[in-house]
Amino acid sequence: MSYPVNRPRRLRRTAKIRDMVRETWLRPDDFIYPMFVIPGKGKSQPIKSMPGINRLSPDLAAREAKAAFGEGIPAVLLFGIPDSKDAVGSSALKDDGVVQNAVRAIKDTVPHMTVITDICMCEYTDHGHCGVLTEGIVDNDKTLPLLAEQAVSHAQAGADIVAPSDMMDGRVSAIRSAMDAAGFEDRAIMAYSAKYASAFYGPFREAADSAPQFGDRRGYQMDPPNVREALREVELDIEEGADIVMVKPALAYLDVILQVRSMTDLPLAAYNVSGEYSMVKKAGEAGLIDEKRVILEILTGIKRAGADLIITYHAREAVKLL
Ligand code: PBG
């Protein structure tokens, strides 16, 4: 009986009416732009698996951060690729480490850019695992003090937010207490709370040279079929003091984003990861899709599912499309 009285098409008739009833809007402040930093000066290395993304030395990272800030992007997330790796990831903790230097360079050049740093060992260990090993097993409790020290070191360099992506149990509270003890109680933690053992990280591992040299990450990252476990991970991170929680990857996990959204009032971030990015870029290059529209549709979908913040390699192109 409702037809023909009810005609939803009336509100789709003009672009202006569609705008009036639009439920989800993307804005530049939604985006966090991830960047890969390397030691040196004047260095820019294209990442083959991620068209349009380069590894940059701190000076060039600062220049790119400045351009991004000018376009309206409020935050960057830094991943470091050091010159040397060892079993315990010592290069992660150095005062003049690659991320520490990049944080200082960015803060010097664009003081109002929010600088977020990745906290994890995988870019710094020669075996590529996210923590230190005891008899070939990633040792949770031995890794915690290293993560805490890395976070304090990044805060000292000027990081506003630290983002642990290692998936060790108890890392949020270890980092929180170490940062508080060091006088950084004002710096926030964005926890990769529900981070899945995903094949979508493939291009990142080339970019960060961080593929595990043996085995995989299933012993610490989450099993993709699980969602109740994700809620438990989020709950634990909140108890431990996380300020922002995260779901990662985004596209195959929109239901997880939705459920996390409904269980917490904390800001929720979603990571639109490297594999999600590269699939779009490669399909665009091949002329299979209208790349610009697909980018906006994906980012809108992630926001509609419930994410407040979207970490995305598309950030710079996306702000130009809004
Ligand atoms: C680990 C880390 C990874 C990503 C962010 N932090 C890779 C992994 O867990 O193997 C992936 C990000 C992406 O794919 O864009 N430090």
* Pair 95, 107: CB distance under 8 Å: no
Catalytic residue selected from 248, 281, 282, 303:
248
Ligand 1 atom closest to the Cα of residue 274 is 15
* Pair 318, 52: CB distance under 8 Å: no
Mean pLDDT, rounded, for 63-67: 98
Tokens for 301? 């979908």
Q: Is 63 exposed, middle or buried (0-12, 13-18, 19+ CB in 10 A)?
A: middle
295 pLDDT band, cuts 50/70/90, is very high
Ligand 1 site, CB within 6 A: 118, 120, 122, 165, 201, 204-205, 217, 273-274
- Is 195 an active-site residue? yes
- Is 107 an active-site residue? no
Mean pLDDT, rounded, for 194-219: 94
Mean pLDDT, rounded, for 65-69: 98
Nearest CA to ligand 1 atom 14: 201
Print burial letters for 134-158: b (CB count within 10 Å at least 16), e (below 16): eeeebebeebbebbbbbbbbbbbbb
Mean pLDDT, rounded, for 303-315: 98
Pocket test for ligand 1, best of 78, 204, 312 (most atoms within 8 A of CB): 204
Q: Is the pLDDT of residue 217 over 80?
A: yes
Can you give the pLDDT at residue 284?
A: 98
Above pLDDT 70, what percent of the chain?
Answer: 100
Mean pLDDT, rounded, for 273-287: 98
The secondary structure element, H or E, covering residue 201 is none
Q: Is the pLDDT of residue 287 over 90?
A: yes
Q: How far is the CA of 37 from the centre of ligand 1 (A)?
A: 14
Q: How far is the CA of 201 from the centre of ligand 1 (A)?
A: 6
103 pLDDT band, cuts 50/70/90, is very high
Nearest CA to ligand 1 atom 7: 201
Mean pLDDT, rounded, for 221-242: 98
65 pLDDT band, cuts 50/70/90, is very high
Can you give the pLDDT at residue 169?
A: 97
- What is the SS3 assignment for 75-115? EEEEEECCCCCECCCHHHCCCCCHHHHHHHHHHHHCCCCEE
Whole-angstrom Cα distance, residue 242 to residue 297?
29
The 10s digit of each residue's pLDDT in 148-187 is 999 999 999 999 999 999 999 999 999 999 999 999 999 9
Can you give the pLDDT at residue 144?
A: 98
Nearest CA to ligand 1 atom 6: 165
Average pLDDT, the chain: 97
Ligand 1 atom closest to the Cα of residue 204 is 14
209 pLDDT band, cuts 50/70/90, is confident
Pocket test for ligand 1, best of 78, 117, 122, 146 (most atoms within 8 A of CB): 122
Can you give the pLDDT at residue 2?
A: 87
Nearest CA to ligand 1 atom 12: 273
Q: Is the pLDDT of residue 32 over 80?
A: yes
The 10s digit of each residue's pLDDT in 139-159 is 999 999 999 999 999 999 999
Can you give the pLDDT at residue 41?
A: 98
Nearest CA to ligand 1 atom 10: 201
Mean pLDDT, rounded, for 299-305: 98
Can you give the pLDDT at residue 1?
A: 72
The secondary structure element, H or E, covering residue 42 is none
